[in-house]
Amino acid sequence: MRPDLPRPRHGADSALLALYARRAVPRYTSYPTAPHFEKNFPEDIYRSWLAALDPAEPVSLYVHIPFCKQMCWYCGCNMKLIARYQPVRTYVDNLCAEIALVAAQLPARMAVAHLHFGGGTPTAVHPEDLEKIVRTIEALFDFTPGAERAIETDPRTITDEMIARIDALGFTRASLGVQEFDPTVQAAINRIQPAALVQKTTEKLRAAGVKGINYDLIYGLPQQTEVALCKTVEECLAMKPDRVVLFGYAHVPWMAKNQRMIDEAALPGAEERAAQARLSAQALVAGGYQPIGIDHFALPDDSLAKAAREGRLHRNFQGYTDDDARSLIGFGATSIGRTPFGYVQNQSETGAWARAIEAGHLPVSKGLAMSVDDCLRGYVIERIMCDGAVNLEAAAAFFDVEPDWYLPENEQLDILQRDGLITREGARLTLTPAGATLARVVAATFDTYLLRDRARHSVAV
Ligand code: SF4
């Protein structure tokens, strides 16, 4: 069934909204965003941040595995193709050494609330290497009762042995890169993956005891049409994933060289792209999924959907989450961590990352110590992205700053209100339905770093 065409929203002018949608703005998985982290960030500062963590507060862990067995043309991740396995094994050894190095800086044996394996393709490592990493973590950290263990998988390459190991290692959630089922699109992005394969992998993971299944879909791909994407959504609905993330393809071939394999003439235009986003979102909602933030959907009884309804949603480098830990420790090349004091990012080049660890150093490359202003703006941006509303004076009271701190932004907020993206009641700002799809644009009003490098970000829709 094809979803209804969208209706005009709140009288907002559609041509105007299309202009907003073309603005280059960050995805705000952090604030300040990663391009503003300082280079050559001192390792000693990160050591002091780790040592100052509250031992009573659980932390979250992110483990980055940058390896893949095949290259997708649309990929924008930090990944390496596996030509032979020995470098992967060496990477795993260094990863375990890094985990031990970081754990030694902590004030106590810390509890973990969320563990996430991302990539690349974490399931591209051998099952015994995945086990080695998890057992290293278990030897150095405790897990809170009901802690989530999540892993990103590739349905094309995951083996039955790996699925059994994922179960044995207590993983509770797996995400599958689906993207699009249309064969023409799959050929154009070099990712051949029939729907039946995704269905089979989903069934196997569920049978193995993995309760939470996430699918990632992408709109704006070469050769993609509204009809094809809506058919993909329909096929996904039949497989009943617990969560779906609907990303917009970001074509940045000057940064991701593999994207030069994509025929730019086959990319959908801005209007087609916006229609794909809108129609597929409508199809997911019609299929019983709760929309969450700008691009997530979840079945109403999923923990993310509950967190959204209860105002407990957060945003981190993996997107929306119900994880409320204030600290996220990243392991692996290029991984980003966050503490209450600021952000750090590891060396992105695996050689430099490995050399630092072998020399007994934390492999930090970039970072940023948060000022009070960063914390305040980060909070406001996160609430806009998660709740679609924020009280600017209440935020000021929380961070102990002047209640009218946002006066310099007032003119811009007036314009957003005039254009139908927000409503304002006193200091409370709320996104309209039209503004909800453009939450990144509204959030950007509070981003003092953005004017310096607007060109580096993808379009808002
Ligand atoms: S899209 Fe995923 S599976 Fe494909 S190359 Fe990138 S990281 Fe690997």
Any ligand 1 atom below 6 A from CB of 60: no
What separation in Å is there between the alpha carbon of 249 and the centre of ligand 1?
13
Any ligand 1 atom below 6 A from CB of 152: no
What separation in Å is there between the alpha carbon of 80 and the centre of ligand 1?
9
What number does CATH give the domain 1-26+372-451? Answer: 1.10.10.920
**Is 294 in contact with 439 (CB distance < 8 Å)?**
yes
Any ligand 1 atom below 6 A from CB of 82: no
Q: Is the pLDDT of residue 158 over 90?
A: yes
Q: Is the pLDDT of residue 1 over 90?
A: no
Residue 455 binned pLDDT confidence (cut-offs 50, 70, 90): very low
**Is 353 in contact with 346 (CB distance < 8 Å)?**
yes
Residues in a beta bridge with 46: none
Question: Can you tell me which atom of ligand 1 is nearest the CA of 119?
Answer: 7
Residue 10 binned pLDDT confidence (cut-offs 50, 70, 90): very low
Computed over every residue of the chain, the mean pLDDT equals: 93
| CATH H-level, domain 33-330: superfamily | tm_1862 like domain (3.80.30.20)
Of the ranges 177-191, 210-224, 401-415, 442-456, which one carries the lowest mean pLDDT score? 442-456
User: Tens digit of pLDDT for each residue in 261-293?
Assistant: 999 999 999 889 989 999 999 999 999 999 999
Any ligand 1 atom below 6 A from CB of 32: no
> Could you tell me the CA-to-CA distances from 93 to 88, 98, 125, 129, 357 in Å, in that order?
9, 9, 12, 9, 10
User: Tens digit of pLDDT for each residue in 324-341?
Assistant: 999 999 999 999 999 999
Residue nearest to atom 6 of ligand 1 (CA): 75
For the chain, residues classed under CATH 1.10.10.920 are 1-26+372-451
* Biggest distance spanned by C-alpha atoms of the chain: 61
**Is 216 in contact with 179 (CB distance < 8 Å)?**
yes
pLDDT the model gives residue 411: 93
pLDDT the model gives residue 20: 86
Residue 5 binned pLDDT confidence (cut-offs 50, 70, 90): very low
pLDDT the model gives residue 456: 56
Residue nearest to atom 7 of ligand 1 (CA): 120
Question: Can you tell me which atom of ligand 1 is nearest the CA of 154?
Answer: 3
Q: Is the pLDDT of residue 320 over 70?
A: yes
**Is 215 in contact with 201 (CB distance < 8 Å)?**
no
Residues 6+ apart with CB under 8 A from 396: 376, 402, 403, 404, 405, 406
For the chain, residues classed under CATH 3.80.30.20 are 33-330
Question: Can you tell me which atom of ligand 1 is nearest the CA of 258?
Answer: 5
Q: Please, what's the b/e burial string for 387-409 (b: 16 or more CB within 10 A of its CB; e: otherwise)?
A: bbebbbeebbeeeeeeeebbeeb
Residue 94 binned pLDDT confidence (cut-offs 50, 70, 90): very high
Site of tokens 């590739």: 154
Rounded to whole angstroms, the Cα distance separating 133 from 332 reads: 11
Residue 12 binned pLDDT confidence (cut-offs 50, 70, 90): low
| Among candidate residues 148, 141, 145, the one with its CA nearest the CA of residue 170 | 148
Pocket test for ligand 1, best of 65, 71, 193 (most atoms within 8 A of CB): 71
Q: 418 or 18: whose pLDDT is higher?
A: 418
**Is 114 in contact with 171 (CB distance < 8 Å)?**
no
Residue range 18-38: mean pLDDT, rounded: 91
Pocket test for ligand 1, best of 71, 79, 218 (most atoms within 8 A of CB): 79
What separation in Å is there between the alpha carbon of 33 and the centre of ligand 1?
23
| Among candidate residues 29, 460, 79, the one with its CA nearest the CA of residue 257 | 79
Residue 9 binned pLDDT confidence (cut-offs 50, 70, 90): very low
Any ligand 1 atom below 6 A from CB of 256: no
Overall pTM > 0.75? yes
Residues in a beta bridge with 216: 177, 245
Pocket test for ligand 1, best of 67, 75, 191 (most atoms within 8 A of CB): 75
pLDDT the model gives residue 23: 85
Residue 21 binned pLDDT confidence (cut-offs 50, 70, 90): confident
Residue range 131-135: mean pLDDT, rounded: 98
Any ligand 1 atom below 6 A from CB of 245: no
Residue range 106-133: mean pLDDT, rounded: 97
Residue range 381-385: mean pLDDT, rounded: 97
Q: Is the pLDDT of residue 65 over 60?
A: yes
> Could you tell me the CA-to-CA distances from 323 to 16, 194, 326 in Å, in that order?
36, 33, 9
Rounded to whole angstroms, the Cα distance separating 396 from 399 reads: 5
pLDDT the model gives residue 459: 66
What share of the chain in percent tops pLDDT 90? 89
